[in-house]
């Protein structure tokens, strides 16, 4: 659907990024893109490089690297997640990418008790990428 940033842009790195997404110190994010798969949920892809970077998980391994869940009420969702034993890496915060910014658009990365990272996201407001394409991120219409 769109690329938030790529090799031509300044890489994302530093303590704030590491804390916000739970990355190993020294991690550098070189690119991020949103991919549309049919009419269902979208897949967000990152190109990350860092010290002590492990091999990608295999289908037979436990867990996944991270997945995102859309919510209409991110604050309530994160609160319920924490009450169930999860840990938020930051409070819900404004989405930092110019293509996704909007007054109420927020994201919060959290960690499950066993280590899997989950991203809670809400995008109730128009995003800048809407000016670039007619394709839209999936959002439940119920």
Question: How does pLDDT run across 4-55, given as a tens digit for each residue?
Answer: 999 899 999 999 999 998 999 999 999 999 988 667 778 788 888 998 877 6
In a domain, 22, yes or no: yes
Residue 142 within a domain? no
Whether 114 maps to a domain, the answer reads yes
Find the CATH number of the domain harbouring 12.
Answer: 3.30.720.110
- Tell me how far apart the alpha carbons of residues 25 and 130 are, in angstroms, rounded to a whole number: 34
Q: Which domain holds residue 6?
A: 2-48+65-130
- Provide the token pair at 130: 């809407």
Q: What is the pTM of this model?
A: 0.67
Segment 68-112, tens digit of pLDDT? 888 999 999 999 999 999 999 999 999 998 899 999 999 999 988
Total count of domains within the chain: 1
Place of tokens 């269902």: 40
Does residue 122 sit within a domain? yes
């Amino acid at each position: 659907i769109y690329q938030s940033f790529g090799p031509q842009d300044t890489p994302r790195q530093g303590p704030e990024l590491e804390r916000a997404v739970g990355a190993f110190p020294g991690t550098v994010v070189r690119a991020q893109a949103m991919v549309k798969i049919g009419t269902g949920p979208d897949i967000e892809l990152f190109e990350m490089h860092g010290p002590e970077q492990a091999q990608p998980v295999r289908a037979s391994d436990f867990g996944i690297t991270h997945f995102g869940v859309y919510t209409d009420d991110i604050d309530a969702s994160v609160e319920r997640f924490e009450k169930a034993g999860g840990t938020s890496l930051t409070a819900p915060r404004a989405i930092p990418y110019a293509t996704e910014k909007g007054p109420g658009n927020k994201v919060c990365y959290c960690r499950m008790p066993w280590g899997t990272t989950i991203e809670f996201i809400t995008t109730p407001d128009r995003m800048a990428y809407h000016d670039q394409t007619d394709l839209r991120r999936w959002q439940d219409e119920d």
